């Protein structure tokens, strides 16, 4: 039967974290959002006709946050 709580003394040790490249991941996701921004700009008339013109601001915000994340990671020396 499963227990909801395990005492600290009974726990197994945490595994070592996997090596990752945060900068590569942020660049990749930012590039995907940039491609979605281009697609939204191409379809801007259709989006506006459907009352979804605000959809353009979602990838704009994501790209801005991605660029901020890249700068923040560069400042951490990673």
Query: pLDDT digit string (tens) for 1-33?
Result: 677 888 888 888 889 999 989 999 999 999 999
How much is the pTM? 0.74
Rounded (5°) CA angle 12-13-17: 130
- Are 59 and 34 in contact, with CB atoms under 8 Å apart? yes
Which DSSP symbol is given to 20?
-
Which pLDDT band, with edges at 50, 70 and 90, does 76 fall under?
confident
- In angstroms, rounded to a whole number, what is the distance separating the alpha carbons of residues 13 and 39? 47
- In angstroms, rounded to a whole number, what is the distance separating the alpha carbons of residues 33 and 39? 10
């Amino acid at each position: 039967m499963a227990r909801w709580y395990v005492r600290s003394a009974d726990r197994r040790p945490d595994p070592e974290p996997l090596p990752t490249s945060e900068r590569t991941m942020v660049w990749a996701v930012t590039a995907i959002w940039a491609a979605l921004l281009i697609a939204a700009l191409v379809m801007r008339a259709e989006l506006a006709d459907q009352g979804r013109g605000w959809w353009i601001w979602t990838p704009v915000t994501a790209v801005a946050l991605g660029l901020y994340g890249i700068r923040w990671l560069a400042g951490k020396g990673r």
